[in-house]
Structure 1
């Protein structure tokens, strides 16, 4: 393994161990590692990756790791980055699934999670500010960003908002500048087929196909994942809704992508072979999407029309991150304990050079202390 691949593996394995807080927090931590610290790419190009990643199915933060790995170490880097990021969550989730099946309950981790959640707010805020400075290039893009922010806060689907922003920006800037550029054809690779499986028993191969379908068409948050899995698993009688809720909960409080929930469910359905099948099935489409999409991103920048589209999508993606930050703040900072941890996190982020990983650790310890002893 060459030095670049080793560096990719090291960075994303570390993030996989400490990336709590959902996609917005994961991307914020990633930006700190690959743009600020290591300068693998410019912040402008990192924004391009965020914008295009938001337009394809699959877990956004996991796909971002693959893009970053590709940029640093080519196709091998794509796979190394994705696997390194996913691996810690899969191992932790498999262990928890084993304990859940054997003991019938999950370990007590709520005090630590209580502290992590407000701590990540400052990390996301820092990334929104840094990326926003690059994305908001004109008054028109500012207006598009505000429109997307408003739409997101009112519950408009984020993919619809991003696509609408991209089309609006592309048309506006095209006619404003009266450009007669030819459009180099590019269509994001979208897969929306259904497999129509009729299963008679729960085998590892059947688990694989169900999770492959979910991974190929999944957009949105963990709540959307819950809806997909409810339709695929509960209605089939494979899981009870309580078991599914427990599985989703595991994905929320472990580091890394929430789609590691699939590992937990796969183990429930078919033991370790099922865990492996579910994990492979749900993440495999993301590797393929990124492998196909990544080479087109620099070409998009060369076309004036697609550059307008991408600029608008980028500012919309930052607006969506800001909307996530506002909603998370409203839901998480509910009492003085949450306020204290959030303020300490903000102080560390904006006044020191402490790594986001240490902020996560400090937040978890503060959460444990405040919940247990105060």
Structure 2
């Protein structure tokens, strides 16, 4: 009797099993994008075989082409491929909800007790660690993104335009797209991007996974696209109308909704692309919160699971809290509205854009744009480092006399732990809180 060696694709997991994982992921995904992706890869690829390694990497690359935080979009994508739109909505929502609720509680505590000396000292312990984390992100992204002279030029130019001239991020990205088209047509090799070859697929090995590369991606029909767009407009428009009719200040809520919807559409390259853009506008243009409050928001966001872009929820809370005469109720409404309108477009980008991104991700022009946008992210993170670091290192005046040497020392220590020992960010946060408490009691002695 001949042995049957045919490999069959395993059955899809039950929705209940997937739900358990997405719920758990939302509470344990500390460490930023790298931490989220590592957890998903370990469980979904290695342990459960719900998606093959090749398909996982392909999906991640596709998410990087689309606007939005790629870790959350990867969760939406995998949830969608497993259980349709219901699975995608569940995965994407549970990815954000835990960190949003934790940040909501921390934001309320912040505005009630934020002026107490002990809490101020805790934040003074957290802020240097935030600066160190951003510096490490600059280093790691730079190592992967800057591999030719044009990449260094784009990174430095982006930094100069955003930090010194305050050029809006949408204009920077538009400029990068124009530059990419020119580079692709006239000097394709200068960008340091080779045309992607066709990888050999082990068909039998791929079929051991529920989601794999042997499955053909189908583009949506015209009717499906129209239905999807109409559904999105309804989901966007109804809450917006609610805010206009019951929010007390039409101008404020219109500004908030359109601003955070816009930010969701320009986050190509991940959270670090949009955060500096938001930080400068909400502090310098809209005057919704101060530079120190923005720093505190970063510190709070680092203590929660979920994507770093969740700091925008804190921005929405403080913006509404400050605007409506220190109303915690309106602060809560501001946080919920900001979270909703920031993350809602990500579902549209995946359901509508993922099939196109999968189909055209190896196109040379798309690769050029993605490569130069990633290089620009280095400049953007550098901008964020200078924008926030100044208040940490020079809390009183920009001079040698104004340097906070204790904060500088803590930044150096955290950098050493992160780079030399790859210390978990959660441990760094806990250490920084203890450092802040110790700094407080040392000062009162």
Determine the structure 2 residue equivalent to 1:66.
72
Q: Select 1:290's aligned residue among 334, 349, 366.
A: 349
Q: Which residue of 211, 218, 221 corresponds with 2:278? A: 221
Give the C-alpha shift of residue 355 in structure 1. Answer: 0.8
Spell out, residue by residue over 1:297-336, the C-alpha distance to the aligned partner (whole angstroms, 9 max, x if none): 3334232222222211121122211322243333312311
Q: What displacement does 1:164 show?
A: 1.1
Correspondences of 1:126-205 after superposition (within 5 Å) = 126-154=136-164, 155-177=166-188, 202=247
How far off its partner does 1:278 sit? 3.1
Alpha-carbon distance in structure 1 between the residues aligned to 2:106 and 2:436: 24
- Displacement after TM superposition at 1:248 (Å): 7.1
Structure-1-length-normalised TM-score: 0.68
Deviation at 1:162, TM superposition (A): 2.6
Q: In the aligned structure 2, how far is the partner of 1:277 from the partner of 1:89?
A: 8
Match of 1:14 among 17, 28, 53: 28
Give 2:101's match in structure 1, choosing from 90, 96, 104: 90
Taking only aligned residues, the RMSD between alpha carbons, in angstroms, comes to 4.7
Counterpart mapping for 1:1-374 below 5 A? 1=15, 5-15=19-29, 29-35=32-38, 38=41, 49=63, 52-53=66-67, 63-74=69-80, 76-77=87-88, 79-93=90-104, 97=108, 109-154=119-164, 155-177=166-188, 202=247, 212-218=257-263, 220-225=277-282, 251=297, 253-255=299-301, 257-261=310-314, 262=316, 265=320, 268=327, 274=333, 278=337, 281-283=340-342, 285-291=344-350, 292-334=352-394, 335-374=404-443
Shift of 1:151: 2.1
Q: CA deviation at 1:345?
A: 0.4
SS state at 2:167 partner: coil
Q: In the TM superposition, what whole-angstrom CA distance separates every residue of 1:64-123 from its partner, at most 9, and x where no partner exists?
A: 4421313443353564344433433335425754996xx797666222221112112332
SS in 1 for 2:176: helix
Aligned residues: 333
Aligned to 1:237: none
Cα drift, residue 149 of structure 1: 2.5
Distance 1:37 1:200 in 2: 41
TM-score (norm 2): 0.59
d(CA) in 1 for partners of 2:428 and 2:40?
16
Report deviation, 1:200: 6.8
The answer (yes or no) to whether the contact 1:148–1:162 under 8 Å persists in 2 is: no
2:297 touches 2:311 (CA, 8 Å); kept in 1? yes
Rg: which structure is higher? 2
List alignment gaps of at least 5 residues for structure 2: 1-14, 46-52, 190-194, 196-228, 264-273, 305-309, 395-403
Name the counterpart of 1:56: none
Structure 1 unmatched runs, 5+: 20-28, 54-59, 182-188, 231-240
